[in-house]
Amino acid sequence: MAKIEEENQYDSDYESDVDEGHQTTTALGFIDVPISEDEQPELEDTFIGGEPKWLHPNSPPPLELVSCKNCKKPMRLLLQTYSNLENTFYDRVIYIFGCNNSACKRKEGTIRAIRAVRKDPKIMKQREKELTDYLAKEEAKKKKAEEKKKEQEELTKNLFSTSLSDSKSSNPFGASDSSNPFGSTGSSNPFGLASSSNPIGSSSIATANPFDTKPKQDVKKAELEKTSYSQAAASLSVTSDKTTKKSNSQSKKLDVKLPSYPGYLLYIDAESLDPKKQQLPPIPSNIMPSELDDSGEKASQGSSKSSKNSKPGKLSPEQQEIAKMLDDPTFNHFTSILSYNPSQVFRYDLNGSPLLYSGSDSVAKIFNIKNKGQARIPSQPGATKRFELQLMPKAIYDLESGCGDEIDILKDGMEWGTIIVATDEKDYVDVNQFDENSVAYVEEWCGVQWEEEVKR
């Protein structure tokens, strides 16, 4: 009972996000277009299936890292996502690979996650310089705008103080030409066009007027000015890679050839929990979890489960398994959150909490309630693993639909509810792991929550 109460508390914490604004910090991935000759993924893209894009064409990972730990055969790419970190200038990619051998079904090591890092000194130095130059220009632009605003305020202040002083010291309707601002172009007339003391008539107003500048500025730079240091760095890193890609386009082919599923590019959007767009999954009308007794029997309507007069109707083994899933508050929470965005195939929330498929397996125990769903998995000395991303079950449907009759993914073992990846919080890589192209690969923690096996 205590366990269920804790899980319900976890559910209520998440549901409060739904009530407060329909927006979370999680980024979702949705199917965009199939990968084809005309639609090829770039390194900065996120996609499922297809062939992996390595950080350098001559630096694939060791074959051991992309092979199943059971059958030792090369695995297929399930997901690739470009995921640079804050305040960094190096490239970083997360890969998820899976084995579809039916003999390896549900075994440890059939799905693996790899973190790839490329720390090319020249590229990193170039990106840092570009960012430094950009920030310096933005700072200079901001300082200039402040100076113009201050100058305008001073001019306005002087204008009104001069007018007030003249009105007190002389009669503006007197006969004297020197004291009448409307009688001549004398120095006391603030509106006289020929006066050297006239701020409106002088050319200084042109430089002091903030509206005198061109109203249409570079939209992209204006947006970057509002973003964080890390976002500006990420934007610059994308543009600076163009020359690198061209120089490597004629490189030799990779020496690692992996089998593959048909691929799909994903587009990324912020998670929105809008009740108006919620699509609740149908619940089988002949299965009511609250009416089941411990033996899987269905109590008669209007009677107690312990009543001797009840005439229970026996559920089939398949119905019993489904009923157990529906009676799991964690699974209910999973399906509820998915109902807001049912077509999602990918979730990303670095340092956040995963959306658990089950509350009773070994993976769920790692993401415990005391840590608010965050993983605390021992890593290299002095660090731990933190949640970063997860692959959702709709990816199975999308990958399988692209295979036609060639591969039966469900039959061959891809029966997972979700795949969760936790990465080293310090993004640690041993310096000895980097190759001549400044590329290194590290295996990360990968937890698989399998679907309940339904007895038929």
Query: Whose CA is closest to 359, among 393, 322, 319, 327?
Result: 327
- Cα(310)–Cα(298) distance, integer angstroms: 10
Q: What is the pTM of this model?
A: 0.68
Q: What is the pLDDT of residue 436?
A: 96
N residues, the chain: 456
| pLDDT tens digits, one per residue of 356-406 | 999 889 899 888 755 556 666 767 667 789 999 999 999 999 998 867 655
What are the residues facing 91 on neighbouring strands? 118
**Least-confidence region, from 38-52, 76-90, 297-311:** 297-311
| pLDDT tens digits, one per residue of 159-172 | 777 665 665 555 54
- Cα(284)–Cα(281) distance, integer angstroms: 10
- Cα(442)–Cα(219) distance, integer angstroms: 39
Domain boundaries, the chain: 2-43+275-450
Does residue 57 contact residue 255 with C-beta atoms inside 8 Å? no
